[in-house]
Amino acid sequence: MYRLLIGIIDIIISDNFKHKPFLADTLSHNSDDPKYLIIPAAGLGTRMKEVNPDLPKELLPVGDKPAIQYAVEEGIAAGIKNIIIVINRQKELIRAYIENQYQDALKASGSISITFLYQKEPLGESDAIAYARDIVGNNTIAVIYPDNVYLPAPGALKTLIPVYNKYRKDVVALSQVRPDIARTISNAGRVDISSLNNALFNINYFIPKGDGHFIPRYKDELRACGIYISGAHVFDYIEMMRNTVSKGEFTDYPVRASILKERGMLGCLLAGTVFDIGNPNGYALCLQYIKER
């Protein structure tokens, strides 16, 4: 375990591609860049309790820092100064760690702002994202699920932003599912796509999450990840689709599917790999990747 996290806990207790990846520098940024990064981190993380029952999965070490720090650093590297992290009351360790880690930046005028919101019930990621609506207003947002770790980091959001600005459509990160990592990825994010150019795709259909791990339907299949950019309309779609979920968690699937139907959506192939560290196998593979580099 890395020293800084141990210190925080002590304080609390004592007191190769088929398609070419998109190159971010090929398009320019403008004033429509996302002003807010939302990080939903209120989930129960049940599958990761076997790795460490005492830590939220977002604080599990990935190299020399916890998983959630990768999400925060993605936002900062992309020029986003307003970060919203949605947690629950059982995850105060996350707040303690982040506020300690970024205390100097938070004090500096004109630097970054980190806001913590609390999800009352574990109703899923779409419900968690909705908590940020009053803060975000009509601004464009970026969203990163902290159990989706992009390596080499950072760079995912910097790749997506110019695509969003050019095409004025919501854009989701795509990652190639190689045979060696398929067994470590949950059976989610499956999409039907058509090529717009080498690294950009039209999303044609989102396929609901299934059981087990991801089994590629064809070589070099791409999957949608929990890293995306959306207009503020996403909050309207969350409310529109909320009552369609009668049981289980309110995931992003019905929201994405509804936006796709009415507005269209793009997928952008990232140059690196998005690891699914929300399950033990994916977490182990991510650690192995870092150790070997």
> For residue 31, what pLDDT band results from cuts at 50, 70 and 90?
low
Are 64 and 153 in contact by the 8 Å Cβ rule? The answer is no
DSSP string, 146-185: TTEEEESSS-HHHHHHHHHHHH-S-EEEEEE--HHHHTTS
134-163: pLDDT as tens digits: 999 999 999 999 999 999 999 999 999 999
> For residue 3, what pLDDT band results from cuts at 50, 70 and 90?
very low
With pLDDT > 70 as the criterion, what percentage of the chain qualifies?
A: 89
Q: Taking 60 as the threshold, does the pLDDT of residue 25 lie above it?
A: no
Gap between the Cα atoms of 106 and 101, Å rounded = 10
| 213-242 mean pLDDT | 96
Gap between the Cα atoms of 176 and 189, Å rounded = 11
Gap between the Cα atoms of 14 and 186, Å rounded = 38
Enumerate the β-bridge partners of residue 230: 141
Counting the structural domains of the chain, the total is 1
Angle ∠(125,127,129) on CA atoms, nearest 5:
70
| Residue 196 CA from chain centroid, whole number | 24
In-domain check, residue 3:
no
CA dist 152 to 107, 149, 188, 267, Å? 29, 9, 22, 19
| Residue 81 CA from chain centroid, whole number | 17
In-domain check, residue 236:
yes
Q: Taking 90 as the threshold, does the pLDDT of residue 77 lie above it?
A: yes
| 38-63 mean pLDDT | 95
Which residues constitute the domain of residue 127?
Answer: 16-291
Closest CA to 293 of 51, 62, 53: 62
In-domain check, residue 7:
no
In-domain check, residue 277:
yes
| 229-248 mean pLDDT | 94
pLDDT at residue 45, as a whole number: 87
Assign residue 227 the CATH number of its domain.
3.90.550.10
172-226: pLDDT as tens digits: 999 999 988 999 999 999 999 999 998 999 999 999 998 999 999 999 899 999 9
In-domain check, residue 235:
yes
In the predicted model, what is the mean pLDDT of the chain?
90
pLDDT at residue 43, as a whole number: 92
> For residue 111, what pLDDT band results from cuts at 50, 70 and 90?
confident
| Residue 209 CA from chain centroid, whole number | 16
With pLDDT > 90 as the criterion, what percentage of the chain qualifies?
A: 80
Gap between the Cα atoms of 110 and 255, Å rounded = 34
> For residue 22, what pLDDT band results from cuts at 50, 70 and 90?
low
In-domain check, residue 4:
no
Q: What is the pTM of this model?
A: 0.90
Q: Taking 70 as the threshold, does the pLDDT of residue 88 lie above it?
A: yes
Torsion angle of C-alpha atoms 215, 241, 58, 281, degrees rounded to 10: -10
268-281: pLDDT as tens digits: 999 999 999 999 99
In-domain check, residue 129:
yes
Are 250 and 239 in contact by the 8 Å Cβ rule? The answer is no
